[in-house]
Amino acid sequence: MNVIEYGRILWQRGWIVLVLAVLGALAGVAFSALVTPVYRSSQAILIVPSRSDFGLTQAAVQLLNSRVAYLSSDLLAAQIIDQLALDMPPAFLRSRTTVTPNRDNLTIQVDVDLEAPTPEDAARLINPITSAWSAALIRYQDELNQQARSEDRIRAQVQDNPKITLLRPNRLVNGVVGLVGGLFLGAVLVFVLEFLESNIIRRREDLERSTGLAVLAVVPE
């Protein structure tokens, strides 16, 4: 198939690809508008050694995993649910909470992902939950510090207030996915149509391609 033939197909059937691409993009945007948004509330907790020597700093690094394990508890999730009077089981709250240690800057980040209709509603609902997880870790660390000498203590403190971000849906991403899907579907449909009509002789070029012979003349109808 030469360039002219590709051009003919594009001219005759290119509109199919374009229409399906536009419909796919619109479907992706429409899907984003219909689903309930999921927001993420994030807060970082600083792990601060009482002195900056290498030994205590390394001790702080080592305890990060144990503090993550402390937060990864359905029992603690149940306490937070009772404290905030939430209507959800502990396992559900745990499944929507991610605790991530960062050894490079000695922080533990708490992310809570929940559905909410607006960013304002998300801030009212999710930020208190994130703060409650952080406060639980700070209280736990303070209790452990009571058993250590002041020069050996490691404090936990929040870095900043919780921040709300839209986790999903992403309208741009969904629109692009729909666009690409529409383009692919359109290309497949054009290929199928061309394949089904490949044995139909309508033009001089079709006859030459199927027989391998040159057409010398055409009798008009």
What percent of the chain shows pLDDT beyond 70?
82
Say how far apart CA 69 and CA 83 lie, in whole Å.
21
43 touches 161 (CB < 8 A) = yes
Kindly report the three-state secondary structure assignment for every residue of 167-220: EECCHHHHHHHHHHHHHHHHHHHHHHHHHHCCCCCCCHHHHHHHHCCCCCCCCC
Three-state DSSP class for residue 76: helix
Q: What is the pLDDT, as a whole number, of residue 17?
A: 79
Report cis status (omega within 30 of 0) of the bond before 169. yes
Predicted confidence (pLDDT) per residue in 174-215, tens digit: 788 888 888 888 788 877 777 766 655 555 665 556 555 565
Choice between 221 and 139, residue whose per-residue pLDDT is larger: 139
Across 118-142, average pLDDT: 94
Where does the pLDDT of residue 169 fall: very low under 50, low under 70, confident under 90, or very high at 90 and above? confident
Choice between 119 and 182, residue whose per-residue pLDDT is larger: 119
Say how far apart CA 50 and CA 149 lie, in whole Å.
10
Least confident of 121-125, 151-155, 203-207: 203-207
- 178-182 long-range contacts (CB < 8 A, ≥24 apart) are 178/23, 178/24, 178/25, 178/26, 178/27, 178/28, 178/29, 178/31, 179/21, 179/22, 179/24, 179/25, 179/28, 180/24, 181/24, 182/17, 182/20, 182/21, 182/22, 182/23, 182/24, 182/25
Across 108-126, average pLDDT: 93
Domain ranges of the chain: 3-34+172-210, 38-168
The model carries a pTM of 0.70
Predicted confidence (pLDDT) per residue in 24-35, tens digit: 888 877 777 777
Average of per-residue pLDDT values in the chain: 83
> What fold is seen in the domain 38-168?
Alpha-Beta Plaits (3.30.70)
